[in-house]
Amino acid sequence: MTAVTPHSVSAARTLVEPVLREAVGRLDALSARVAAYHLGWADAAGRSTGNGGKALRPALAVLSARAAGAAGERCLPVAAAVELVHAFSLLHDDVMDGDPTRRHRPAAWTVFGDSAAILAGDALVTLAGELVLEEDTPARVRAARCLVSATQRLIAGQGRDLEFERRADVTLEECRRMSADKTAALLSCACSIGAIAAGAPEPLVTALAAFGAETGLAFQLVDDLLGIWGRPEATGKPVLSDLRSRKKTLPVVAALTSGTPAGDTLAGLLARPEPLPESVLSMAARLVDEAGGRAWAETEAKHRLDAAERHLAEADMPAEVRAELLEIAHFITSRDH
């Protein structure tokens, strides 16, 4: 089945996109062009291509403001800022990973060159700071700190992700921490930054952040599964690309550390110095499954989603906001988002 984009996500995109476009319009011409392409608003020649991506993170930020009783409109700059940090990280990750494809299109660095992609990423992360700090209220400063600290974790997680490609002895705990930093930290920030900007009480902020962190881990687990068994037409990435670059994703590390014969065979394959042909990659995928990595990741994703739901249940917020947050969590951890 194909999951349907929740209404709250499309509604948030309608609210946030004008703020994003205005902000990107302040950048120098080159970075604005790269950003418009990367965000899906323009083609390589700068011609308008309509709306951008799903804007999941802004939707979570808007809902987190509403959870605190504020109007979603009040937190649009912080919602846009989270999306800008996400866009920055993808721009730089694609350069570092050498990934030629992003969301079914050539990655920005393949179109504009490495330097332009690096610069545009720099410009977007800086723009995020500008947006959040437009108001100098104490709540805004706390929101800025939340975003900066999530950005720092995201960078650290990407660093370890790259390092793990060259290491054979990554533990499941290291891998989990890497995913918590690389993916879950910014989602946790998205789920709490609207509430922070709205001056919400600490217990609500903490519950929302925990909901986001658990949802983020579930999302990463599903993303890792899709990176091996997803259909390229759905993921927008070449088949088996994570295994090709020897990424130590969660299901792969679960398999490698399973103590099973399949796990040991997998370790032997991934230790080969030469590029791995398609046939070996398919065999590697089967070994991850056989060693229990696939089943473990599926179960673990479910556990994380359950934990996210519990955090949400404990938090004091309007019932319809809780339902909408939960709908997004299920949406982004569905197999065909």
Stretch that binds its own copies, among 11-19, 25-33, 61-69, 223-231 (CB under 8 A): 25-33
Among 4, 10, 25, 28, binds its own copies (CB under 8 A): 28
Q: Answer whether 51's CB lies under 8 Å from 17's CB.
A: yes
The H-or-E segment that residue 166 falls in is none
Question: Would you state the structure tokens that stand for residue 232, as one six-digit string?
Answer: 């390229």
Among 19, 56, 123, 189, binds its own copies (CB under 8 A): 123
Q: Which residue has the tokens 């104490």?
A: 138
According to the binding rule CB under 8 A, does residue 144 interact with its own copies? yes
**Per-residue DSSP letters for 67-121?**
HTT--GGGGHHHHHHHHHHHHHHHHHHHHHHT--EETTEE-HHHHH-HHHHHHHH
According to the binding rule CB under 8 A, does residue 140 interact with its own copies? yes
DSSP 53: S
Whichever of 141 and 267 has its CB closer to its own copies, that residue is: 141
Among 24, 95, 187, 288, binds its own copies (CB under 8 A): 95
Stretch that binds its own copies, among 61-69, 100-108, 128-136, 212-220 (CB under 8 A): 128-136
Region of 231 (left: φ > 0; alpha: ψ -120 to 50; beta: rest) is beta
Among 10, 14, 152, 299, binds its own copies (CB under 8 A): 152
Strands 105-106 and 101-102: antiparallel
Among 8, 13, 15, 31, binds its own copies (CB under 8 A): 31
Q: Name the residues that contact its own copies, by CB under 8 A.
A: 27-28, 30-31, 92, 95-96, 114-116, 118-119, 121-123, 125-127, 129-130, 133, 136, 138, 140-142, 144-145, 148-149, 151-152, 155-156, 158-160, 162-163
